[in-house]
Amino acid sequence: MAGITDAPMRMIVRGLGVDQTFSEMIASREIFMRPIDLQRRLHIDGEENELAIQIAGCDPYWMGEAARFCADLGATLIDINMGCPAKKVVKGATA
């Protein structure tokens, strides 16, 4: 859902009665390179009772750390991206 399920879109669908929303895909290492930017981009406002954060990567260590970080942010579900046809992903943006 890269480029689609950003904070404004999640707010709109919550207003329509959706119980659980999913974040855009986030590269596991990106979380630790710019954590403040990530929190701003995710815009977790406490209104999202059921927020799933999707992470992608190829290093088990960073995937685990990213999952823990997202859980601490309030994610109720960690969605591990196991393959994505988006051009920026296929070109190795998450590796």
Work out the mean pLDDT of the chain and round it to a whole number: 80
Residue 64 CB neighbour total at 10 angstroms: 13
The arithmetic mean of pLDDT across residues 4-20, rounded, is: 85
Task: Give the Cα separation of 25 and 6 in Å (integer).
Answer: 10
Single-letter residue type at 57: G
Whether 73 shows a pLDDT value over 50: the answer reads yes
Residue by residue, DSSP assigns 3-67 as: TTS-HHHHHHHHHTT-SEEEEEEEETTHHHHSHHHHHHHHT--S--SEEEEEEE-S-HHHHHHHH
Pick the more confident residue, 39 or 69.
Answer: 69
Q: Which of 84, 86, 89, 93 is catalytic?
A: 84
pLDDT level of residue 92 (50, 70, 90 thresholds): low
pLDDT level of residue 62 (50, 70, 90 thresholds): very high
Res 95: pLDDT: 47
The arithmetic mean of pLDDT across residues 25-41, rounded, is: 79
Whether 77 shows a pLDDT value over 50: the answer reads yes
Catalytic site residue 84? Answer: yes
Please state, in angstroms and as integers, the Cα–Cα distance from residue 70 to each residue in 6, 15, 62, 75, 85, following that order.
16, 23, 12, 6, 23
pLDDT level of residue 78 (50, 70, 90 thresholds): very high
